[in-house]
Amino acid sequence: MHGKAGSSVEVRDISITVTRREKVAPGTVTAPSGCGGDPNEPAYLVVDLDTLPLNRPAPAAYLLRSPQQRSARQLESDFGKSLSLPHTVAAGDFYSLFLISRTQRHDSYWRATITWWDGEETHRRSISGSSGQDLRVVPTGDDAP
């Protein structure tokens, strides 16, 4: 995301949509990988996918206040700085954010949508996995049903 002619942008929302849930599939759990800018001062948003409705975006305001997301917010504080919105990103700077999702009961597919304002227009972009597919999370061995 970037502003017009090198101006700052304001990150206004990040919403999470669980697109489907399936029975947990057998397999091997791999470590997550991150993306973004400088990992020294990232913000974190941890989401408990089990508590979100299917195919309805859950905005950051809900995720940061909902009693159903309380344990996820505790994990955020364990990692570091929690997401705080709106957040202004100066021209030529970057904003590093780690989205961490978890599930204890399902093979879950989800996507994130980031909304920002460039000073003139509001923009939205979907964050997805490789080839535009939904992101996928499964319970780890100890959490699986």
Tens digits of per-residue pLDDT, 102-118? Answer: 999 999 999 999 999 98
- Domain-embedded: residue 76: yes
Question: What does the pLDDT read at residue 3?
Answer: 60
pLDDT band for 10, please (50, 70, 90 cuts): very high
- Domain-embedded: residue 60: yes
Task: Tell me which residue range forms the domain holding 75.
Answer: 4-26+33-137
- Domain-embedded: residue 143: no
Question: What does the pLDDT read at residue 141?
Answer: 60
pLDDT > 80? residue 16 = yes
pLDDT > 90? residue 75 = no
Q: How many domains does the chain have?
A: 1
Cα 61 from Cα 86, distance rounded (Å)? 10
C-alpha pair distances (Å), 82 with each of 5, 129, 134: 30, 23, 24
Question: What does the pLDDT read at residue 27?
Answer: 64
pLDDT band for 31, please (50, 70, 90 cuts): low
Q: Name the average pLDDT for the chain.
A: 84
| DSSP H or E stretch at residue 89 | strand 87-89
pLDDT > 80? residue 22 = yes
Letter for the amino acid at 74? Answer: Q
- Domain-embedded: residue 144: no
Cα-only R_g, the chain: 16
- Which of 1-5, 13-17, 39-43, 72-76 is least confident? 1-5
